[in-house]
Amino acid sequence: MKATVTVMLKQGVLDPQGAAVKSALGALGFDGVEDVRQGKVIELDLAPGTTEAQVTEMCEKLLANTVIESYRVEIG
């Protein structure tokens, strides 16, 4: 079983890396980019029987810092 965890900065938290990527895309002539948010994707290979609730607990305890980040879990 696989779980994919996507961690993003919360809306409203300034994302300096996303802003730099947006500006670099603009420099390449891609001027249709209105905003860029950069996050990370964490893939977990899970033993059978691991529950989505456990993955959520992993996110809360370690994978995301919920002060500034939000996360999304996809199983399978």
Partner 1 sequence: MKAAILVFPGSNCDRDLAVAFRAAGFETEMVWHKETELPRGVDIVGVPGGFSYGDYLRCGAIAAQSPIMRAVAGFAGKGGHVLGICNGFQVLCETRLLPGALMRNAGLKFVCRMQGLRVATTDCAFTGGYKPGQDVVFPIAHHDGNYQIDAEGLARLEGEDRIAFTYVGNPNGATADIAGILSENRRVLGLMPHPERVVDPAQGGSDGATLFTSLSEALVAA
Which stretches of the chain bind partner 1, using CB under 8 A? 9, 13-14, 16-17, 20, 62-63, 65, 67-68
Closer of 27 and 76 to partner 1 (Cβ): 27
42 contacts 3 by C-beta, under 8 angstroms:
no
Closer of 10 and 76 to partner 1 (Cβ): 10
The helix/strand count (H/E) of the chain reads as 2, 3
Q: How far is the CB of 22 from partner 1 (least distance, A)?
A: 12
Q: Which two tokens stand for residue 36?
A: 């860029």
Strand partners, 73: 5
Q: How far is the CB of 69 from partner 1 (least distance, A)?
A: 8
